[in-house]
Structure 1
Amino acid sequence: MALQWEHVNVDAADPVALGRWWAEALGWVVVNDSAEEYEIRPARDRLPGLVFAPVPEHKTIKNRLHLDFRPDDQDTEVSRLLTLGARHADVGQGEQPWVVLTDPEGNEFCVLATRRS
């Protein structure tokens, strides 16, 4: 049996707005702009993608699954993401080499330290 990772589903109060935010943050392309299933991918024919779907409730607790990103320059990327609307988050991580941020709807993600050669 072979499985291919297609996408990660993200619950959203406003799928279009959140999907657009992530598309800009990641430099990805929109492959479906429906308010019921807004999908972005690294390129039109590349997987995996992110699918944003509407839910009536708002996020209330820390995510049990989150995305980690490894930048070329952590400080530059954190500043860029904050300018786009991300916010710093404290999920009890203490002093770590990664930075925990949230997207505009409060979903946590991490910007890891720059990889050493």
Structure 2
Amino acid sequence: MGLRFSTVCVDAHDVHPLASWWSGVLGWPSEVDEDGDVVLRAPAGAGPDWLFLAVPDEKVVKNRIHFDFTPDDQEAEVDRVLRLGARRVDIGQGDESWVVLADPEGNEFCILAGDE
């Protein structure tokens, strides 16, 4: 195949605080690129880099795509990410094994049950 998955682009109303928040969640270093966008550099084997792009509007509807994270300890990671500023959200998931959270700009993501 001729394609390589290299970057996830994240639209952000306030790029630097959101990128900084995700840098803290993931533990990945961030840098500002030549266009003034913020890049989180994924460690080898951790997936694609994340590129935060400034947009003038705020998020208003449920994501059409989201991230799933598999922790070593779901409860500990959910608590940690909530302390960093995430919030729980109900997208109609019901009583499931994963936990749906949102980042400071409202982008939903899931923390799965993990390998506990």
The TM-score normalised by the length of structure 1 is 0.90
Letter in 2 for 1:10: V
Corresponding residue number in structure 2 for 1:22: 22
Q: Structure 2 CA distance, aligned partners of 1:6 and 1:88? A: 29
Q: Structure 1 CA distance, aligned partners of 2:104 and 2:3? A: 32
Q: Structure 2 CA distance, aligned partners of 1:58 and 1:37? A: 17
Letter in 1 for 2:90: D
Q: How many positions carry a matched residue from both structures?
A: 116
How far 1:35 moved relative to its partner?
A: 7.9
How far 1:47 moved relative to its partner?
A: 4.9
Unaligned runs of 5+ in 1: none
Letter in 1 for 2:38: Y
Contact 2:11 2:55 in 1 (8 A): yes
How far 1:41 moved relative to its partner?
A: 1.8
The share of aligned pairs that are identical, in percent, is: 49
Q: Structure 2 CA distance, aligned partners of 1:33 and 1:25? A: 21
Corresponding residue number in structure 1 for 2:40: 40
Corresponding residue number in structure 2 for 1:13: 13
**Is it true that 1:87 corresponds to 2:87 in the alignment?**
yes
The TM-score normalised by the length of structure 2 is 0.91
Counterpart of 1:9 in 2: which secondary structure?
strand
Corresponding residue number in structure 1 for 2:75: 75
Unaligned runs of 5+ in 2: none
Q: Structure 1 CA distance, aligned partners of 2:34 and 2:14? A: 11
